[in-house]
Structure formats: C-alpha cells, structure tokens
Structure 1
Amino acid sequence: MFKLFRKKSEVEKMESNFKKLMKEWHELSSINRKLSDEKYAMAQALLPRIEELKKKHEAH
C-alpha cells in the first residue's frame, strides 16, 4: 500500500518499459515480423543500461 505513492526509480521505469516492449514484441511476432523485430531490438538495447544501473544501486 505504501508503494502506491512512491516514485519509481529509474531502474523500475526502465524495467517497466522493457516488459512493455517485450509484450508488444510477442503480440506482433505473428502479425508484423519487421515491427516485431524492431520492438525486440529496442528492448534488448535497454538491457545493458538496466544492468549498469542495478550494479550502481547495489554498490551504494
């Protein structure tokens, strides 16, 4: 309940965006392969940044 009013961290925002892109990728995979591949590439591009932010967060 208390998380309801808490702002999302940058990592949480990026993870949410990643999940959204992966969902769109899956939905488009049988409809439009080109657009599906673009969504997948966008999602994969977020992974290194997410991992980097997680490492920084763990270090602190």
Structure 2
Amino acid sequence: MFSIFKKDPTKKLKKQLALKLESAMQAQRNGDIKTYSTLSYEADEIDKKITEIENNTAS
C-alpha cells in the first residue's frame, strides 16, 4: 500500500558502483593496472550485492 514511500535499497549501491567504475577507468587510462584491477574487483563485489538484493526483493 505504501510502496511509494519505500526507499530503493540498491540506489546507494548503484551510485557506489558507478563511482568505482569511473575510478577504475581513470586508473586504467593513467596506466595504473594494479589500482584498476583492485577497483574492478570491488565494483564486481558491489554488483554481486545489487544482484543479490534484487533477487531477494523479487522473490
């Protein structure tokens, strides 16, 4: 009934994901492959959390 007042639980995570991917891209452009791989891994973990939350919410 009051679903319009519920916050999107993935909104904050999606924002973090976008920032991580942006930072990873900048690191890659600067030739810092170690930082790029670390940021990419962290972005992948955030994406897994988003997928998990979305799957639990859909069920």
Using structure 2 for the length normalisation, give the TM-score: 0.75
Q: Aligned partners of 1:24, 1:7: CA distance in 2, in Å?
A: 30
The Cα of 1:45 is off from its aligned counterpart by: 1.0
Report how far residue 58 of structure 1 moved. 2.2
The one of the two structures with greater contact order (alpha-carbon pairs below 8 A, sep at least 6) is 2
* Unaligned stretches of 5+ residues in structure 1: 1-5
User: What percentage of residue pairs aligned between the two structures are identical?
Assistant: 13
Q: RMSD of the TM alignment (CA)?
A: 1.9
Q: Which runs of 5+ in 2 are unaligned?
A: none
- Give the whole-Å Cα distance in 1 for the aligned partners of 2:10 and 2:37: 24
Give the 3 Å change call, closer, same or farther, for CA 56–27 of structure 1 in structure 2. Answer: same
CA shift for structure 1 position 36: 1.0
Give the C-alpha shift of residue 7 in structure 1. Answer: 8.4
Q: In structure 1, how many angstroms separate the alpha carbons of the residues matched to 2:21 and 2:29?
A: 14
Q: TM-score, normalised to structure 1's length?
A: 0.74
SS of the equivalent of 2:49 reads: helix
Q: How far is the alpha carbon of 1:57 from its aligned partner? A: 2.0
